[in-house]
Amino acid sequence: MKLDHTYILPSIFAFIVHILVAFIVISEWQSNSQRTPPVLIKHRVEATLIDLDSLLARQKQTDSAAIKKAADKKAADKKAADKKAAEKKAAEKKAAEKKAAEKKAAEKKAADKKAAKKKAANKKAADKKAADKKAAKKKAADKKAADKKAAKKKAADKKAADKKAADKKVAKKKAADKKAADKKVAKKKAADKKAADKKAADKKVAKKKAADKRAADKRAADKRVAQQLAEDQQALDSLLVDEEAQTQALEKQATDGQAVASAVQYIRNEIIQKWVRPANARTGMVVELVIQLLPTGEILSIGVSYRDASATDAFVASVVKAVNKVGRFDKLSQLDSALFDANFRKVTLVFKPEDLRL
């Protein structure tokens, strides 16, 4: 049987108390037996009985509670230390994993950068090689064409030179013969012609001078008329351009207005067709939605910008559901992009149950 050390001190204490009590009792008895008092005196002794078993039991409970408290504290400290160690280990593991991931990402980024750089260098080299090859091919073709053109020109020049030399020789002989014959006739006519030519030349000079003056006057008048006509035509063209621009602007404005009105009516009809009136819808309820659209007519988002105090959640939800059912206003994709951006990028819809109108 294993000895419980928690009972040692209480047992020793109880043993000492018993010895002291026995010693006091024996000493008192001996002193009373040796003395004969002249008068019988009654002594009253006040004593308290001590239940050693109860004392030991309480002491045992106290010691057990202290031991249990110490054990619980030790267990709690160990549990806290274990938890702290686990948390530290988890944090270290998480930091290590993060560091490893960052390192891996950095290595991948470096590898991708290196691969991209290599790819760019290879592409640059290939492009340069192709360009050099193309340039060399073009240079060879140009040289060949130039050589062919030079040879053809050289042959043509030689043929022309030979023909020119032959023609010159014939012409020279013919000119010499004609010169001899003409010299005789010319010499005779020269004197007559000289007088006639002088007279004709003088007349011609006078006539030419008068004609030149008339022509100069006519050109000046024509120039003034043409300049005035040009100024009048320019003013008329400018006026016509301004009127045409104003007419086109008004026509475009009217066309755009009709297109916007038609698109708005189309949106109204599409939503009305999809709306299912809830049972608690009442006259006077108002909800305002802001619908963001894409150029394709697809609905990007729906937001409730205002709701009347009487508007129920079911009524608001039914209106939003009707817009979601439409999903996409296909005809809006046919609008001009500028017209769409100005009028239908964001549409405000005011919905009332009494008339089902926007």
Q: What is the pLDDT of residue 356?
A: 43
The pTM of this model reads: 0.33
Tens digit of pLDDT for each residue in 20-33? 999 898 888 877 66
- % of residues, the chain, pLDDT over 90: 26
Tens digit of pLDDT for each residue in 309-351? 999 999 999 999 999 999 999 988 888 888 999 899 999 989 8
The pLDDT of residue 86 is above 80: yes
The pLDDT of residue 69 is above 80: yes
Place of tokens 């057990």: 64
Tokens of 324: 């979601």
Q: What is the pLDDT of residue 286?
A: 93
Tens digit of pLDDT for each residue in 259-316? 899 998 898 889 989 999 998 888 889 999 999 999 999 999 999 999 999 999 999 9
Element (H, E) at 293: strand 287-293
- Beta bridge partners, 298, equal 328
Model confidence at 47, pLDDT cuts 50, 70, 90, reads: low
Length of the chain, in residues: 358
Span between the terminal Cα atoms of the chain, in Å: 97
In angstroms, rounded to a whole number, what is the distance separating the alpha carbons of residues 303 and 250?
36
Tokens of 319: 């209106």
**Kind of pairing between the strands at 346-351 and 299-307:** unpaired
Tokens of 278: 């809830």
Q: Indicate the burial class of 52 (C-beta count within 10 angstroms; 0-12, 13-18, 19 or more).
A: middle
In angstroms, rounded to a whole number, what is the distance separating the alpha carbons of residues 88 and 30?
76
Average pLDDT over residues 113-136: 90
Model confidence at 357, pLDDT cuts 50, 70, 90, reads: very low
Q: Domain spans of the chain?
A: 5-81, 275-351
Cβ(270)–Cβ(255) under 8 Å? Answer: no
Model confidence at 253, pLDDT cuts 50, 70, 90, reads: low
The pLDDT of residue 245 is above 60: no
Tokens of 269: 């009809």
- Give domain 275-351's CATH number out of 3.40.50.300, 3.40.190.10, 3.30.1150.10, 3.30.450.20: 3.30.1150.10
Tens digit of pLDDT for each residue in 184-238? 878 888 778 888 788 878 888 878 887 788 888 888 878 887 788 777 677 656 6
Average pLDDT over residues 81-109: 89
Please provide the average confidence, as pLDDT, over all residues in the chain: 83
The pLDDT of residue 108 is above 70: yes
In angstroms, rounded to a whole number, what is the distance separating the alpha carbons of residues 100 and 208?
106
Model confidence at 43, pLDDT cuts 50, 70, 90, reads: low
**Kind of pairing between the strands at 299-307 and 287-293:** antiparallel
Q: What is the CA radius of gyration of the chain?
A: 64
Of the listed ranges 65-69, 96-100, 229-233, 289-293, the one predicted with least confidence: 229-233
Element (H, E) at 351: strand 346-351
